[in-house]
Amino acid sequence: KQEVTQIPAALSVPEGENLVLNCSFTDSAIYNLQWFRQDPGKGLTSLLLIQSSQREQTSGRLNASLDKSSGRSTLYIAASQPGDSATYLCAASHTSGTYKYIFGTGTRLKVLA
């Protein structure tokens, strides 16, 4: 059974820092990996989707990489801003069955002004 773990569970950094959020999964037979942002009491906003043939994706100050062999993905946020404060969730879909996404428990990020 696929399990997705995110470390750290919470992170507080001063504005301007570059930071890395980690996501690990137990079954390397994943198809896609997607990173989401969730503001308190809100739904999930898709940030980056790494499809099966890809190893990384970039959008603005965000870069996500995927290493299936080691069972890890990282989300890199450059020059963090207070507006980046949110919970970041990763989700992995399996190569078989219904391709449903399994979510981690998230990293709560607070960027201090």
Partner 1 sequence: EAEVAQSPRYKITEKSQAVAFWCDPISGHATLYWYRQILGQGPELLVQFQDESVVDDSQLPKDRFSAERLKGVDSTLKIQPAELGDSAMYLCASSPGVGSYGYTFGSGTRLTVV
List of residues contacting partner 1 (CB under 8 A): 4, 31-32, 34, 36, 41-46, 49, 51-52, 89, 91, 97-101, 103-106
Provide, rounded to whole angstroms, the least separation between the CB of residue 88 and partner 1. Answer: 11
Nearer to partner 1, 12 or 46 (CB): 46
Please give the order of strands across the beta sheet that includes 62-67.
4-7, 19-25, 72-77, 62-67, 56-59
* CA angle at 103 for the pair 94 and 1, rounded to the nearest 5°: 50
Provide, rounded to whole angstroms, the least separation between the CB of residue 30 and partner 1. Answer: 12
Nearer to partner 1, 12 or 18 (CB): 12
Provide, rounded to whole angstroms, the least separation between the CB of residue 16 and partner 1. Answer: 28
Provide, rounded to whole angstroms, the least separation between the CB of residue 46 and partner 1. Answer: 6
